[in-house]
Structure 1
Amino acid sequence: MRDRILDTTEELLVREGVNAIRLDAVAAKAGVSKGGLLHHFGTRQALIEGVVLRLVDAFEAYLPPRSSPPGAFTRAWLDATIPATDVPADGQGDRVAVALLAALSGGPEMLTLLRGHYLVWQDRLANDGLDPAAATLVRLAVDGWWLARVTDLAPPAGDLHVRIRASLDQLARTEND
């Protein structure tokens, strides 16, 4: 039941944004009683935190171990977020982006939680065997891409999307790739 509730919350976040997350609406859409939802998530904040933590865990599971070849972490960061071709919204990268957007709107506690993860991820990027500036530039470009996409602020589309993604991929490569 917990996963069904989180799946429904993610879907609502992707399709309608953070304002659509109301306990009664999530319960109804998930096909559970409000009491059942409250058993797992006592507040709206706890529900959003559950989504964010589950997606952070899935994102971290996708990332390679520290013993990976140079650039592997940066390329995985890029691959997990920006598809190689321009695809309709609602893909995994969009789910991660929506979780991050939800965290941003979830108040200082959620930002603190996310900052802790970002500090670890930034350290891994900076020590990924690439120029730390290039690896960080990839991360910042990814962050800008998802923000533009989730907020529909003129996200790059079509050939421009593909060209930008290819440029970021080049930044995430070593001379030996």
Structure 2
Amino acid sequence: MLVSGGADAIRLDAVAAQAEVSKGGLLHHFRSKQALLQGVLDRQVERFQAALPPPGSQPGAFTRAWLDATIPDTDVPARAHTDRVAVALLAALSGGPHVLEAFRRRYEAWQDRLADDGLDPSTAYLVRLAVDGWWMARLLDLAPPHDDLHRQVRARLASMIQEGL
């Protein structure tokens, strides 16, 4: 529902119907729309976090995993899984200042990991900003790179990580 209609389409009665549960059952787990959006954000963050290496990994491993978890090797059709993740995250962020602040704290922790990844910190930061810009361009259809250019941009980011070691 988040993918197809955004956060505005999320109504607890509609979510309950889609999930084939009672509204009371849904309210037992999520007391409000904000709590539901927080739950979506938490789930997406946990999935993303699972793709990242633990602290103490080889230099550059976290930055490389950040790239790998976000930008596929080849261009994928719009609305593919990576786009659905971006839509879900952005929709969850519309849950209000509390939800946004929780996401900011996660992002700060990830940025700290990138800065301490054994690379030149400016290289790690540039890779993160490029990755963030990539999925935003895909999400909003802001002239994202396609086909060969997609592969070239991704390869350039990967080489920046290697050069930064």
TM-score between the two structures when normalised by the length of structure 1: 0.86
In the TM superposition, what is the alpha-carbon distance from 1:174 to its structure 2 partner? 4.6
Higher relative contact order (CA 8 A, sep 6+): 2
Cα distance 1:57–1:154, how it changes in 2: closer, same or farther (>3 A)? Answer: same
Match of 2:128 in 1: 139
Identity %, equivalent residues:
65
**Secondary structure of the residue that 2:162 maps to in structure 1?**
coil
Q: Kindly indicate whether residue 44 of structure 2 is the aligned counterpart of residue 65 of structure 1.
A: no
Q: Unpaired runs of 5+ in structure 1?
A: 1-11
1:100-133 per-position Cα deviation (integer Å, ceiling 9, x unaligned): 3124322211111011111111111011011111
* Alpha-carbon RMSD: 1.7
Residues 86-165 of structure 1 mapped to structure 2, 5 A cutoff = 86-165=75-154
**Secondary structure of the residue that 1:130 maps to in structure 2?**
coil
Amino acid at match of 1:84: D
Do the aligned partners of 1:78 and 1:138 also contact (CA within 8 Å) in 2? yes
1:134-157 per-position Cα deviation (integer Å, ceiling 9, x unaligned): 111111111111111112222222
Q: Kindly indicate whether residue 8 of structure 2 is the aligned counterpart of residue 19 of structure 1.
A: yes
Do the aligned partners of 2:123 and 2:164 also contact (CA within 8 Å) in 1? no
Q: Unpaired runs of 5+ in structure 2?
A: none
| Structure 1 residue runs of 4 or more that deviate by more than 4 Å after TM superposition | none
| Bigger mean CA offset, 36-45 vs 100-109 | 100-109
Match of 2:40 in 1: 51
Amino acid at match of 1:149: R
TM-score between the two structures when normalised by the length of structure 2: 0.91
In the TM superposition, what is the alpha-carbon distance from 1:20 to its structure 2 partner? 1.8
Work out the number of aligned pairs and report it: 165
